[in-house]
Each structure stands twice: as structure tokens, then as C-alpha cells.
Amino acid sequence: MLGIQSRREFLASTAVGIAAAAARDIPHPMRPRPLPPPPPPPSRWAAKPVVVSSANGLRAVQRAFDLLMQGADSLDAVIEGVKIQELDPNDDSVGYGGLPNADGVVQLDASCMHGPTKRAGAVGALEGIKTPSEVAKLVLKYTNHIFLVGEGAKRFALQYGFKEEDLLTEHAREVWLRWRANLNPDDDYLDVPEGEHMSVRPTGTINCDAVTPQGDISSVTTTSGLAFKIPGRVGDSPIIGAGEYTDNEIGAAGSTGRGESNIKVCGGFLTVEHMRRGMKPTDACLETLKRVAKLTEPRLLDERGRPKFDLKFYAVNKRGEFGAASFVPGRFAVHDGTAAKLMDTAYLYERAASR
């Protein structure tokens, strides 16, 4: 299996790597390794390989699916997929270029689970590292822990060769300055003119889940979280069982949208449990959304009792069936062996609730 090593194997490979470093680059645990032999022919597949993602993951599902077809491990495939968004300065909801917290500091969250080895890793409020999904994978691979946060998570990443960088792009800085200026009419910042006011606080994220031809499953979710959040806030994305969850016997599920509402229902876990009881992925996602709606406090419901926020779930099962659902019509990305494409989510309500 590619990518998941025992501590002893890692130490041995590190020793070799250090010797080799004199001749070439510094060894880096995330450097792609040679791929194992390609998967068996389709007639011998245990599952229909598939990758699903939030709608911003069209490139992610293409990349992850290509890697699956080359024999890559499911976790390596989804991490390589979401890294495209993490490294893209134009996606202001994930990784580098993500919108900052209320202090103007970008704090990133990510988690992942690897079905075959039953391992999990996560980082929260990570600053200065562009690809928190990779750091979460390092926690999974090389520690006895699951969740590292803040300064400790950063130091951990630096120890493994990650570079500390300024994650705040000019675009993100400008959006943050405008938000701050309009926060309070009585403060010392002059308001930005009406037309430019941001009325919505974005909660972008990318979740990606994959099934290999052998029926092995992994999931990852990574985000810069709620824009302008209180410093230190973490949402659902880095919480195993909320932002994503994998059980290699059943399937995987993950989410994007208002993290606080997902945390209360442990939506990743709950969706997998719905599938364990026999539901198809789409129905499982819808069922979880119904639970979210039931647990929503009145201030977040419209006059007809519908949640006023966005939340989506994505799921795959052991056979390679997949689905996604949202409160109102939405889109998600999938590669099911034909092509990377956007598809419509199933949904609970025809139209968006009034805010």
C-alpha cells in the first residue's frame, strides 16, 4: 500500500533519505513516491472506483481518479486532489488565499481518514502552512494522536519540512479590510460604500471521498473556515466524524457549509451510519440534513422553519455508489469512471430560505 508506513519503516526510510539529501533535495515525507502496480482489470474490481467532492473540486476529482487508476492509495489520491484547491490563491475558502479570521490571520483546518488502516488525522487553527490536508495526513501516519491544533500543529509541520509562508493574499486582505470597515458604523474605520458591502460571510471548504477498485475508501476535508471568525474558532472540517468520516466496511461521507450546525449532529459519522443501515448515499445525506434541520435553533430558521444557512453532505459507499444533498438545489463534483463532472445534489427545499 502506498503512503502508510509504520514508525519503524519511516525511521529507516528517513535515515536513507538523510544520506540521499546530500546529493539532492531535503527529504520530505510528502514527496510523491513511485506508484504500486496498476489495479486489476475491471472484470476483477471489487468496487466501481469513484471520487466525489464539493463543487469546487472538479480538478480534485479528476486528479484523484487518475491516481486511483494508476494504483494509488485512496488517501494519497484524495489529498493530492484537494491540494489543488489549497494551493490555488483564487479559491478564497481553502488553504493559501483563504479568507482570514477577524484579526486578519488565515487559520486553516483539515482532517482525513484512511479506511484500510482505520487511522485518522487532523489539524485545527493551523497558521502559515499552505496545505493543512498534508499535515493532517502526517498526524495520521506518524503519530499516536489524531488532532493537533494551533502553534503545536505548526511546529509539527515545520519539523517535517513544511515551509512557513504568508497565506494572506492581496485579494483576501482587501476583503477582510472591507469587512472590518463595515463592522460598526461608530468605530474609527470609515465605512466602505454601500455597493461594496459584503452581506454574506462565506464558508467555503472542500471535501473529497474516494473508493478504489479494490473497495478501499478514504476521505479528507480542508478549509480556511468561516471568514472573519473569532480567532481560534474551528468548524466541522477538522473534526473526525463531523467534517468527514470513513469506515472501510461501509463508506465515507463529508460536508461543506456551516460547520457549527454539522458538529451538533456529527454529520460525517451519522451519514455513514445511515448507509450502514442500508441507505444509499444520497438518501443517507438527505437524512442527515433532516437531523440538522431538527436540531437548528430558532434564530437560524426562517418563518417556515427552514434553516437559513448552507450545508451539504457528500457520500460514497463500499460498492462505489455515490451521492450528495443540500437544503436547496446545489451542485457537487464527481468522477465515476466516465469523466469529471458537476452533478445536481438532492435537496430538501425547492428554494432558499429568506435570510
Q: 342: closest CA among 351, 352, 350, 331?
A: 331
235 is an interface residue for ligand GLY by CB under 6 A: yes
212 is an interface residue for ligand GLY by CB under 6 A: no
Region of 126-134, 223-231, 316-324, 341-349 interacting with ligand GLY (CB under 6 A): 223-231
**With b meaning 16 or more CB within 10 Å and e meaning fewer, what string describes 213-236?**
bbbbbbbbbbbbbbbbbeeebbbb
CA distances from 2 to 6, 37, 68, 98, 344 (A): 12, 10, 11, 30, 33
317 is an interface residue for ligand GLY by CB under 6 A: no
Q: Which of 101, 107, 212, 237 binds ligand GLY (CB under 6 A)?
A: 237
Main-chain phi, psi angles of 68, to 5 degrees: -60, -40
Least distance from C-beta 235 to ligand GLY, angstroms?
2
Instruction: Copy the grid coordinates of residue 88.
Output: 490555488
Please spell the DSSP secondary structure of 239-283, one letter per residue.
Answer: SBTTTEEEETTTEEEEEEE-HHHHHTTTHHHHHHHHHHTT--HHH
Least distance from C-beta 232 to ligand GLY, angstroms?
13
Neighbours of 58 (CB within 10 A): 20
Between strands 119-126 and 147-149, the pairing is parallel
Least distance from C-beta 326 to ligand GLY, angstroms?
13
330 is an interface residue for ligand GLY by CB under 6 A: no
223 is an interface residue for ligand GLY by CB under 6 A: yes
Give 62 or 111: the residue with its C-beta nearer to ligand GLY.
Answer: 111
Give 36 or 232: the residue with its C-beta nearer to ligand GLY.
Answer: 232
| Contact criterion met (CB below 8 Å) for 174 and 43 | no
User: Letter for the amino acid at 74?
Assistant: S
Q: Which of 101, 107, 203, 288 binds ligand GLY (CB under 6 A)?
A: 203
Q: 255-274 mask for ligand GLY (x: CB under 6 A)?
A: -xxxx---------------
Least distance from C-beta 155 to ligand GLY, angstroms?
23
The residues carrying an active-site annotation are 205
Please report, as ranges, the residues that interact with ligand GLY according to CB under 6 A: 203, 205, 223, 225-226, 235-237, 256-259
